[in-house]
Amino acid sequence: MSLFPQPRWLRRWIRRRMNPLPVDRAAQWKGRISILYSIVAWNALGWVGYMIYTGRNDWAKYYGYKTDEEASMPQAIRFAKQLNVPNAHVMKFSGLSKTDEYELKDNEVVRTDGQPKEVSE
């Protein structure tokens, strides 16, 4: 059983139109494709490392898809806006210890002591 089962009609269609490959030739092509895949994956990893090294790891901000206001907004508020959750309870963790806890009311941070924190929207 696979995670994404292949439709039976597609399998029948492919088997009707393709000739079976000999085992040795199929293994040879599998090796070639795996080498090509490893080269592409290695270059993609290098590109990500280069982008991080040059300071372009937030590509959306670098290319202008994200405004300065959105970049300065805490991640919890951005997710709450994206998910249409105006009121939420936020807990921040660092490792296995809880570092911060607060409420979001209408996408504004409200601390437990009752003083809202200023957040630019």
Clarify whether residues 52 and 18 are in a common domain: yes
Res 121: pLDDT: 47
Clarify whether residues 49 and 80 are in a common domain: no
Listing DSSP states for 19-50 in one string gives PPPPHHHHHHHHHHHHHHHHHHHHHHHHHHHH
Clarify whether residues 56 and 14 are in a common domain: yes
Clarify whether residues 77 and 41 are in a common domain: no
Average pLDDT, the chain: 86
Q: In terms of residue numbers, what domain contains 54?
A: 8-60
CA distance 113 to 85: 22
H runs (alpha helix) in 1-121: 8-17, 23-53, 59-62, 68-72, 75-82
Domain membership flag for residue 121: no
Res 33: pLDDT: 97
* Comparison of pLDDT for 67 and 35, the residue scoring more: 35
Clarify whether residues 52 and 90 are in a common domain: no
Res 78: pLDDT: 86
Model pLDDT for residues 33-61, shown as the tens digit of each residue: 999 999 999 999 999 999 999 988 888 88
Clarify whether residues 47 and 78 are in a common domain: no
Domain count, the chain: 2
